[in-house]
Structure formats: structure tokens, C-alpha cells
A and B are shown apart, each in its own frame.
Chain A
Amino acid sequence: QVQLKESGPGLVQPSQTLSLTCTVSGLSLTSNSVSWIRQPPGKGLEWMGVIWSNGGTDYNSAIKSRLSFSRDTSKSQVFLKMNSLQSEDTAKYFCASPYNNFKYWGQGVMVTVSS
């Protein structure tokens, strides 16, 4: 059974860096890609980027300069870091798989940017 689960702080101060973890079970990260998608409250979905099975990454150009993904295959975890957070970054953050359409989703983690 495939499961993805996001974790991280619920509150981040403006201008600070967000760090999130996606823990994956039932899927090998060396054979499958993981994407990050976010959803502001009451709004639509924004694809943020993907970390490929070979560890390479691709990002949405709209937020590329602030974003980085990494992973620890031994722990089956994928990491998101995004800097210079502003109020517009308040959203629920999901990890999902695979890469061009998303059969598997985590439950999401709500992140609020506020002082």
C-alpha cells in the first residue's frame, strides 16, 4: 500500500525558510518520482516541482529561485525547502506521485506564514 505523509511546521515567520518532509512507503524513491503541490485556502492547486527517481529536480519557474528539493533514499524521505516566505505562501502543501499525473497523494500539511 502506497502512503505519502507530509510533516513540518504549521507556522513560519515572514522572510523565513520553510522546511517540509515527505515520508514515503510502498514506493521506492529510486524508481519513482515525487512532486510537491500546494493549495492556498479556498483556492486551486499549484504544481511546485518534482524530484526524479535519479535525484534530479525540476521546478515551477514561478517559484524556482526560492525552492529546492532533496531526498534521503535510505529513509525514503523527500525534502522541500523554500526561502523568503511571504503571506502568499500560506497554503496546504502536498507531496504526490508520480510526475505527470498524481495517483498518490499525502494528506497535506497546512503552513501559515505570519508573524
Chain B
Amino acid sequence: IMLTQSPATLSVSAGESISLSCRASQNISTNLHWYQQKPNESPRFLIKYASQSISGTPSRFSGSGSGTDFTLNINGVEPEDFSVYFCQQSNNWPLTFGSGTKLEIK
């Protein structure tokens, strides 16, 4: 299953609210997960099964969607949020990841 993330890069100012998109090449129900990765760090698990928060994930992060279209929302971007965000599906083997969206400071 291919996951297409858009945009590839998003330039915003701190405090803005944003949405990142992840589109699957076929129906994956809600078997979609989100990660944040900062330079030279391991990915950090943010959201599971499209909309379920992980312990420790700030409340400004939320996820939505099902089927083929998914969204990661950040309600009021903080300076520490500027990183790359990946989606990952677990509906079919092999597990696959999207190519990522880089959130950068405008």
C-alpha cells in the first residue's frame, strides 16, 4: 500500500494551526499511525489508529480520517513542532510509511 503525504514541505509561523495529509492507495480502515522525527533522532510515536492519542503526545496534536484519507492536525504550532512527520499503515503487509511532510519555520 502506498501512502502519499502532502504537502512535502509546509512553511508556517509558530501559533498557526495546520493540517497534514496522508492518502492511502487503498482502503486501510483506521490502521494509520503518525510519527514525528527531528534531525538525527528516532521517530516519536504521536497518534495511533488514525485518531487515538499516545500518552505524552501534547493535546494540540490530533488525528482524523478513515479509509484512504487521513489528517494530522496541530492546533497552534509550537517551536518544538518543527520537524518531519510520517504516516504509517498497518492494514496490509508489508507495513509502509509515507515519504514525510517537513514542517518548517516561515
**What residues of chain A have their CB less than 8 Å away from a CB belonging to chain B?**
35, 43-47, 58, 60-62, 94, 100-103, 105-108
The reply to whether the CB of B82 lies closer than 8 angstroms to some CB of chain A is no
List of A residues within 8 angstroms of B31 by Cβ: 100
Give the complex CA separation of A58 and B93 in angstroms. Answer: 9
Number of interface residues of B (CB under 8 A): 20
Q: How far is the CA of A100 from the CA of B96 in the complex (A)?
A: 10
With CB as the reference atom, state the residue of chain A lying closest to B45.
Answer: A103
* A-B contacts at CB below 8 angstroms, number: 43
Q: How far is it, in angstroms, between the C-alpha of A63 and the C-alpha of B99 when the chains are bound?
A: 19
Closest to B35 in A: A102
A31–B88 CA distance with the chains assembled, in angstroms: 23
Q: Identify the interface centre among B42, B45, B48, B90: most chain A CB within 10 Å of its CB.
A: B42
A45-B43, A106-B42 known; A101 vs B94 contact (CB < 8 Å)? no
Chain B 75-106 against A: per-residue CB contact (8 Å), 1 yes, 0 no? 00000000000101010011111111000000
CB-based closest 8 A-B pairs: A100-B90, A105-B42, A47-B95, A45-B97, A101-B33, A60-B94, A44-B99, A103-B45
Q: Is the CB of B43 within 8 A of A105?
A: yes
- Shortest C-beta distance, A50 to chain B (Å), equals 9
- Chain B residue with Cβ nearest A47: B95
Q: Is A100 a contact of B86 with CB atoms below 8 Å?
A: no
Docked-complex contact B42 and A94, CB < 8 angstroms: yes
User: Per-position contact with A for B19-38: 1 when CB-CB < 8 Å, else 0?
Assistant: 00000000000010101000
Q: Nearest residue in B to A45 (C-beta to C-beta)? A: B97
Q: How far is the CA of A111 from the CA of B49 in the complex (A)?
A: 32
Q: In the complex, are the beta carbons of B45 and A102 less than 8 A apart? A: yes
Indicate whether B54 reaches chain A with its CB closer than 8 angstroms. Answer: yes
> What is the bound-complex CA distance between A51 and B3, given in angstroms?
24
- B35: chain A residues within 8 A (beta carbon): 102
Are B42 and A45 interface neighbours, CB within 8 A? Answer: no
The answer on a CB contact under 8 Å between B33 and A46 is no
5 CB-based A-B contacts, threshold 8 Å: A35-B95, A44-B97, A94-B42, A101-B45, A103-B54
